């Protein structure tokens, strides 16, 4: 039985600098995996490699048994990989509703979309999503007018609308208040089981609230892997973090 997502010996280099160097990682279907590590460990690059933003210079990435390395980013997305970026990226000139409609992409073809009116998508479902992330009142507001927190929520709603099998979250709680972080953790826990999720996060409280198994990256490689309690007491991990900031403050 192959894993849902399997990275084996993956590398990425920029001008000789190896951001990811021989990373191997296995994530089972329905699992929520947290990816932590000090700054520059290659966490974001690892997500970039999976979703096709960065082309690997070596190794293989298999999703549902299919090799992703040879596909374009939009093809990878079609195969069921969704991504939330570190810097919130939504369509600022479009309204919240229109944003959700773009994300709701059951059919990707040009012709199919040309012969369909923009506002005919599953309206109820999208309205519910907006309600879920607390943006019901902002449905017709351009995304540019949203606050930073609201933008984060919108992007999470976009991911939910996209309904991807594998969801990659890059620091979903950056800039959020404690309550908002809690709510994000709730969402993650609800998605667990239905979707396979990889979360890159610095906030250890958040990681403890959602994570089963944690993978620790260091210098582009996998350093340790295991349940939260085990990782916290791992001497190698401690050393890496003490070398920089310490695991809770990173």
Partner 1 sequence: MMSKRTMRQVFVYGAVCLAIFLLPMLINDDFLLNRFARYLVLAMVSMALALSWGYAGILNLGQAMSFGLGSYCMAMALKLRTIPVHTGSEGLPDFMVWNNVEALPWFWKPFYSMPFAIAAGIIGPMIVSAILAWFMFRGRVTGVYVAIITLATLVVVNLVIIDQQWATGGFNGITDLAQLELFGITFDAYSATTYYLIAICLTVCLFLALAVTKSKAGLILQAIRDQEDRVRFFGYDVALFKTMVFCISAGIAGLAGMLYTIVMEFASPTFLGVQLSLSIVIWCAVGGRQSLVGALLGAILVAGMQGALSESEVFLDTWTLVMGALFVLVVLFLPNGIASLGEKLTEKFGGRRATPEPAKRGNSIARSTKLAEGK
Partner 2 sequence: MEFLFEQFITGLSIGSILLIVALGLSIIYGSMGVINMAHGEFIMLGAYGAWALKAYAGISLFPSLIIIFIATALLGALIERGVIRYLYRRPIDTILATWGIGVMLQQLVRLTAGGELRYVEMPPSLAATVDIFGVDVSAYRVFIIIAGAALFAATWMLVNKTTVGMQLRAVVQDRSIATAFGINASTIYTGTFAYGAGLAGLAGALVAPLKSVSPEMGTGYVVDAFFVVVLGGVQSLFGTVASSVLLGQLSGVLAYWQNDTVAKALVLVGIVILIRFRPQGLFVTRVRT
| Pattern 8-27, partner 2, x by CB under 8 A | ------xx-x-x--------
| Pattern 47-66, partner 1, x by CB under 8 A | ----x-x-------------
Q: Does 160 engage in binding with partner 2 (CB under 8 A)?
A: no
Among 1, 117, 179, 249, binds partner 1 (CB under 8 A): 117
DSSP 161: H
Burial state string for 80-110 with b = 16 or more CB within 10 A and e = fewer than 16: bbbbbbeebebbeeebbbbbbbbbbeeeeee
**Min dist. Cβ of residue 77 to partner 1 (A):** 4
Instruction: Give whichever of 50 and 224 is closer to partner 2, judged by the CB atom.
Output: 50
> How many residues belong to the site for partner 2 (CB under 8 A)?
4
Cα–Cα distance measured from residue 55 to residue 11, given in angstroms and rounded to the nearest whole number: 9
DSSP 142: B
Q: Which does 103 bind (CB under 5 to 8 A by kind): partner 1, partner 2, none?
A: partner 1
Cα–Cα distance measured from residue 21 to residue 1, given in angstroms and rounded to the nearest whole number: 26
Please report how many Cα atoms fall inside a 13 Å half-sphere around the Cα of residue 7, on the Cβ side: 25
For the chain, first and last CA: distance in Å?
Answer: 36
**Min dist. Cβ of residue 169 to partner 1 (A):** 13
Instruction: Give whichever of 126 and 240 is closer to partner 1, judged by the CB atom.
Output: 126
Residues that bind partner 2 (CB under 8 A): 14-15, 17, 19
């Amino acid at each position: 039985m192959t894993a849902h997502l399997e990275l084996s010996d993956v590398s990425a280099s920029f001008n000789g600098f190896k951001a990811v160097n021989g990373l191997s990682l296995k994530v089972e279907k329905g699992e929520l995996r947290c990816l932590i590590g000090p700054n520059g460990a290659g966490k974001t690059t690892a997500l970039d490699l999976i979703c096709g933003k960065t082309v690997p210079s070596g190794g293989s990435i298999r999703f549902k048994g299919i090799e992703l390395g040879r596909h374009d980013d939009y093809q990878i997305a079609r195969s069921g990989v969704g991504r939330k970026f570190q810097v919130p990226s939504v369509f600022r000139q479009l309204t919240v509703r229109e944003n959700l409609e773009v994300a709701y992409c059951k059919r990707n073809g040009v012709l199919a979309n040309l012969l369909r009116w923009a506002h005919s998508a599953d309206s109820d479902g999208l309205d519910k999503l907006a309600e879920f992330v607390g943006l019901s009142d902002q449905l017709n507001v351009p995304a540019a007018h949203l606050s930073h927190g609201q933008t984060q929520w919108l992007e999470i709603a976009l991911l939910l609308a996209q309904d991807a099998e594998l969801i990659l979250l890059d620091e979903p709680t950056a800039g959020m208040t404690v309550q908002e972080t809690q709510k994000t953790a709730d969402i993650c826990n609800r998605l667990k089981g239905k979707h396979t999720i990889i979360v890159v996060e610095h906030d250890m409280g958040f990681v403890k609230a959602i994570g089963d198994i944690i993978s620790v990256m260091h210098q582009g490689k996998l350093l340790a892997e295991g349940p939260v309690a085990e990782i916290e007491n791992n001497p190698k991990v401690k050393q890496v973090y003490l070398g920089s900031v310490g695991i809770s403050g990173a």
